[in-house]
A and B are shown apart, each in its own frame.
Chain A
């Protein structure tokens, strides 16, 4: 079936370094992608999203890159801080059959980011 997966289950970086978290997706119909951050004991928190008509989108210290040719998504975090330590999930969605709206999100397994001071 369709799935979204992550290349690296864990990532350790030093404070101040840049972090790159990768994600592969297999549903070619997916046209909306989101990155979430989940801290221990909390629900996932929206970070940034991107639609398939774009290949790059920037937020505050974060950038999402989308390569539709190879079905790859990445999240770049600049000047990583200890507070960025969390599990990061990518998620994808496609428009509901015959419609223009989106339904459920399909999530990857997550990458654990650990930032060392």
Chain B
């Protein structure tokens, strides 16, 4: 596609429920990143996929968070047993291998009530 697409754009869920957030990167981009942005804050790194290499999961805040990338393209971020502190905008970005200045999607705004 022309840009990074994320769905849903907004998600309201009850505390304790699981949620899945989807990211469609730019076609041909081998690197894919997930970041989290809390209200009025900067971006917090979560996880990074690069080609067929093992993902860098060092930013995942707890074992309730996981992500996968199927076929080197679409990625899903899963949050199990959501908590109120998980409320944030979850941003996905992609880039060409070894090239930075990656392109962000518009994010998924997650609200846990």
Contacts and interface: CB of A to CB of B under 8 A. Distances in A.
A29 to B, nearest CB: 15
Contacts, number: 56
Contact of A42 (B98, B101, B106): B106
A44 B37 CA distance: 11
A28 B59 CA distance: 21
Nearest to A9: B40
Contacts of A42: 106-107
Contacts of A32: 100
A45 B105 CA distance: 9
Interface residues of A, number: 24
B104 A43 contact: yes
B93 interface: yes
Interface in B56-113: 56, 59, 91, 93, 97-98, 100-107
A44 B91 contact: yes
A100 B33 contact: no
Contacts of B100: 32, 34, 49, 93, 102, 105
A16 interface: no
A89 interface: yes
29 contacts: A32-B100, A34-B100, A34-B101, A41-B106, A42-B106, A43-B91, A43-B93, A43-B106, A43-B107, A46-B101, A46-B102, A46-B103, A49-B101, A89-B42, A89-B43, A91-B43, A93-B100, A101-B50, A101-B98, A102-B100, A103-B56, A104-B33, A104-B48, A104-B56, A104-B59, A105-B43, A107-B43, A109-B41, A109-B42
Interface of A: 32, 34, 36, 41-46, 49, 89, 91, 93, 100-110
- 5 closest A-B pairs by beta carbon, nearest first, are A43-B104, A107-B43, A107-B42, A109-B42, A104-B45
